[in-house]
Amino acid sequence: MIKPASRTLPEIFESFGEARRNGFLAMKALKDEGRGVVGTFCTYVPVELIMAAGLIPVGLCSTSDETIPEAEKTLPRNLCPLIKASYGFAVTDKCPYMYFADLVVGETTCDGKIKMYELLGKLKEVHVMDLPRTQHKAGSRALWLAEIRALKKILEDRFGAAITDDKLREAIRERNRERALLKELYELSILDPPPLTGLRQLQILFGSQFKFIHQEKVRELEASIKSIREAWQAGERPVQAGAKRILITGCPMGGATEKVVKVIEESGGVVVVYENCTGAKQFDRQVPEDGDPCEALADYYLAIGCSVMSPNPNRLELLGRLCAQFKVDGVVEMLLQSCHTYAVESQRIREFLKERAVPFLSLETDYSAGDTEQLRTRAAAFIEML
Ligand code: BJ8
């Protein structure tokens, strides 16, 4: 049982840092109770539908290189590590979340993932949502709404659940509450100096997705925000005054890519906000709670500013707003190797930030530790120059 008021900051950080590992047991208990599990790979998948069906959504994107050699027996070596690792965990049965998933919901985002889902379909039951590549055309909205209604029907048929409008609205409210709390948490770093390091912030944002009981998660997040704020007000300063304030943009992070945050923070910087799918891209906005719930979900999800959209103005809008709100000194982009959409879009991001006189560094990496010192050299030179 959680006792929010009595938890210390180290306990809070440990709880979220260990959430992925500890969540295995929680999920097994839920499975033993007969709950269905649906795995997802992307922020575009409307998890509210899964929740409204009484099922447990879980993110399956892998963040470690452990199973990449196994994946490379089937997939090309020069493929994004996120895709290789995720597939590798499925082939080797080493990810309990993949193992527990009764159904995997994929999406037509990047080419590598689309084709990987075909192979994954030989190992697991997979449904792929057809995501449009552009947001502004009327046909895009119609297609995406139809895909959302189709997923609703698939979940109802597959799991014998009735997803009523009331249940869907309730799931939207629950998820909105979680989004609002995670946003409140990362907005604590508007304070100067921030009340938590970027590594701690990342671990909470990443770890929160592996806490599966909504009420418990809400209580834990509320308690964490309160404790972090109180510690700062009491004079605790985990981040040195004058540390250069960095925004991270680009591909999703967590696990192996924590190395990027570490080299920044060991070089005199502090990550104050993540614009990527691990952070603000997922939690910045709310799904409208009135009107037709499927239409609300369609509008909300289609507006996500991912580089798979062309053009992608919403990423620029969020990026510009966060740079101002968090008073950042510089932006670091983390690109996963062979992620073509983010790599090509990098030029537009560079120009956008140049127009606003915000220094920019783009770093490409993978899930290995081999390039850590090279990343450190580049991050240190960037921060030195700010
Ligand atoms: S909404 S960022 S979670 S697609 S890094 S697998 S794009 S080659 S993860 Fe993503 Fe959804 Fe967009 Fe977010 Fe492909 Fe790029 Fe790899 Fe990627």
d(CA 170, CA 317): 29
**Is residue 309 in contact with ligand 1, taking CB distance under 6 Å?**
no
pTM of the model: 0.95
Our CA dihedral for 261, 107, 304, 180, rounded to 10 degrees, sits at -70
Q: Which of 62, 114, 284, 308 to mutate to test the pocket of ligand 1 (most atoms within 8 A of CB)?
A: 308
**Is residue 112 in contact with ligand 1, taking CB distance under 6 Å?**
yes
**Is residue 331 in contact with ligand 1, taking CB distance under 6 Å?**
no
Task: Determine the average pLDDT of the residues in 162-170.
Answer: 98
pLDDT given at position 3: 41
Q: What is the DSSP string of 31-48?
A: HHTT--EEEE--TTS-HH
Side-chain half-sphere CA neighbours of 118 within 13 A? 7
User: Quick one: which of 151, 209, 179, 165 has its CA closest to 286?
Assistant: 179
d(CA 247, CA 238): 18
Q: How far is CA 24 from CA 19, 29, 58, 94, in A?
A: 9, 9, 11, 12
Alpha carbon of 115 to ligand 1 centroid (Å)? 14
Q: Number of helices (H) and strands (E) in the chain: give both, helices first.
A: 17, 8
**Is residue 53 in contact with ligand 1, taking CB distance under 6 Å?**
no
Q: How far is CA 21 from CA 43, 46, 260, in A?
A: 21, 24, 22
User: Quick one: which of 375, 280, 386 has its CA closest to 331?
Assistant: 386
**Is residue 109 in contact with ligand 1, taking CB distance under 6 Å?**
yes
CA 249 centroid distance within chain:
12
Alpha carbon of 77 to ligand 1 centroid (Å)? 18
d(CA 269, CA 262): 9
In what helix (H) or strand (E) does residue 313 lie, and over which residues does it extend? helix 313-325
Q: Which of 87, 116, 339 to mutate to test the pocket of ligand 1 (most atoms within 8 A of CB)?
A: 339
d(CA 383, CA 386): 5
Residue 26 has pLDDT above 90, yes or no: no
Under a CB-based contact definition with an 8 Å cutoff, are residues 341 and 256 in contact? no
Report the 10 Å Cβ neighbour count for 337: 18
d(CA 181, CA 207): 14
**Is residue 43 in contact with ligand 1, taking CB distance under 6 Å?**
yes
d(CA 261, CA 248): 9
The pLDDT tens digits for 128-161 are 999 999 999 989 999 999 999 999 999 999 999 9
Q: Which domains does the chain have, with CATH numbers?
A: 13-163 (3.40.50.11890), 167-385 (3.40.50.11900)
**Is residue 45 in contact with ligand 1, taking CB distance under 6 Å?**
no
Longest pairwise C-alpha distance within the chain: 59
- Pairing state between β 126-129 and 56-59: unpaired
pLDDT given at position 7: 66
The pLDDT tens digits for 327-377 are 999 999 999 999 999 999 999 999 999 999 999 999 999 999 999 999 999
**Is residue 131 in contact with ligand 1, taking CB distance under 6 Å?**
no
The pLDDT tens digits for 45-74 are 999 999 999 999 999 988 889 999 999 999
d(CA 353, CA 332): 11
Alpha carbon of 2 to ligand 1 centroid (Å)? 34
Alpha carbon of 167 to ligand 1 centroid (Å)? 29
User: Quick one: which of 125, 135, 91 has its CA closest to 316?
Assistant: 135
Evaluate the omega torsion of the peptide bond into residue 313 and state whether it is cis, within 30 degrees of 0.
no
Stated length of the chain: 386
Task: Determine the average pLDDT of the residues in 169-198.
Answer: 98
**Is residue 44 in contact with ligand 1, taking CB distance under 6 Å?**
yes
Instruction: Kindly give the number of the ligand 1 atom that is closest to the alpha carbon of 109.
Output: 4
